[in-house]
Amino acid sequence: MPELPEVETIRLQLSPALAGKRIKRLEVIDPKWGSPIAAGELAALVQGRTIECLDRRGKYLIFDLGEEIFLICHLRMTGNFLYDADPAVSYQRAVFELEGGHALRFTDPRRFGTAEVIVGAGALEKYFAARLGIEPFSGALDGAALRSLATGKRTSIKAFLLDQRAVAGIGNIYADEALFRAEVHPLREAGRLKPAQYPLLARTIQEALQAGLDAGGATIDDFRHADGLYGSFQDQFLVHRRAGEPCPRCGNEVSKMVVAGRGTYVCERCQKRPRGSLKRRAAPTASRSGRQR
C-alpha cells in the first residue's frame, strides 16, 4: 500500500501540473470508486471546478476545488494517479479531463481506492480528526508526543505505528524500517518502551519516511509516479523484505514474522525481543538464489 512518502511524491509531482486547471469533465468508469455516491452525482460535484491546490493528510490526497469543496482520494493498495498517460492504460477507474487537453487518470487493479467529496473546511477537519493522528513532519512528532500517545497501550509497537489515529502515514514498510533504526523489537508493548526509546523512535520514523521520500517512494508491486516511472526506495531497505539476508548493522540474519497481521522483518540481535513475548515463527527462507521474501 502506498504510504506517506509515496503519496507525498505523487502530490509533489502533480501539484504544479494541476494547480489552476479546470476539470472540464470527470468520467467515473468504476461506480465503486466513489461509492456510496452515484457516479453521476460525484461527477456533477467535481466537473467544471478549478483545482486550486493539491494537499495531503496522512495517506490521503486532497483536491481543493474552491468554495470549500474538497475531493479526497485514498490510493489504498494499488491505486495510482497518472498524468497525460496513454489513454489505453489498464485498470482505469476514473478520468479527469482537464483544460488544455490534459488528462489525469486514476488506475487501480484491485479496485480498493476511494474518492469522496466533502463540503466545508470544518467538515474536512472533522473527517480527518476522527481518522488521523500526528503528521510526522508537522513539528508535532517528538518523544513526548509519542510517549503520551502510547501510554497505557499494551498492543505491540508495530501495531501502534500502523494505527493511523496515532501517527498518520506510516504503513508496513516504514514501520519496519523505523523500528530497525531505533533498535526496537516490533513485539515490544507500545506503552512499555524505555524512556529514551520514544524520542529515538520519533526521530527514526522521520528518518525512514524522509529516506523514502528522497527516493521517490518504494515500488514493490504497483506504485508508480505520476509520469509512470517507479520509486527506488525498495533498493535501500535495511530490513523490510530482506529475510535471510545479513543485517546491515551486525550481520545477523534478518528474519520474518507476523505481527499485527502483517509480514514483519526484524534483526533479533539488534532489536532485542522483549521478555515474556510469545515466540513468533519466522517465515521460511530459501537459498540465496531463490530467497523467499
> Quick one: DSSP state of residue 24?
E
The predicted pLDDT at position 153 comes to: 95
Q: Please count the other Cβ atoms lying within 10 Å of the Cβ belonging to residue 113.
A: 24
Is 109 in the same domain as 65? Answer: yes
| CA pair distance 150, 62, nearest whole angstrom | 29
Q: How many separate domains does the chain show?
A: 2
Question: 196 is written with which cell numbers?
Answer: 529514551
Q: Residue 134 falls within a domain, yes or no? A: no
Residues 214 and 197 sit within 8 Å (Cβ to Cβ): no
The predicted pLDDT at position 247 comes to: 98
Is 161 in the same domain as 194? Answer: yes
Is 114 in the same domain as 249? Answer: no
In this structure, the strands spanning 102-107 and 53-57 are: unpaired
Is 117 in the same domain as 151? Answer: no
The predicted pLDDT at position 228 comes to: 74
From first to last of its 293 residues, the chain has per-residue pLDDT tens of 789 999 999 999 999 999 999 999 999 999 999 999 999 999 999 999 999 999 999 999 999 999 999 999 999 989 999 999 999 999 999 999 999 999 999 999 999 999 999 999 999 999 999 999 999 999 999 999 999 999 999 999 999 999 999 999 999 999 999 999 999 999 999 999 999 999 999 999 999 999 999 988 887 766 666 767 667 788 889 999 999 999 999 999 999 999 999 999 999 999 999 987 654 444 444 433 334 33
The predicted pLDDT at position 101 comes to: 97
Where residue 250 sits, what CATH number does that domain have?
A: 1.10.8.50
**Residues involved in catalysis:** 2-3, 59, 262
Q: What does each C-alpha distance from 184 to 4, 67, 158, 233, 260 come to in angstroms?
A: 21, 46, 10, 21, 16
- What is the span of the domain harbouring residue 238? 143-290
Is 154 in the same domain as 123? Answer: no
The predicted pLDDT at position 219 comes to: 75
The predicted pLDDT at position 151 comes to: 97
The count of C-alpha atoms lying within 13 angstroms of the C-alpha of 94, restricted to the half-sphere facing its C-beta, is 29
Which residues on adjacent β-strands are paired with residue 56? 61
Q: Residue 229 falls within a domain, yes or no? A: yes
The predicted pLDDT at position 226 comes to: 74
Residues 97 and 103 sit within 8 Å (Cβ to Cβ): yes
The predicted pLDDT at position 3 comes to: 92
The predicted pLDDT at position 255 comes to: 97
Is 104 in the same domain as 223? Answer: no
The predicted pLDDT at position 227 comes to: 66
Exposure letters 84-96 (e unless 16+ CB within 10 A, then b): ebeeeeebbbbbb
The predicted pLDDT at position 224 comes to: 67
| CA pair distance 263, 61, nearest whole angstrom | 26
The predicted pLDDT at position 231 comes to: 72
Question: 193 is written with which cell numbers?
Answer: 518502551
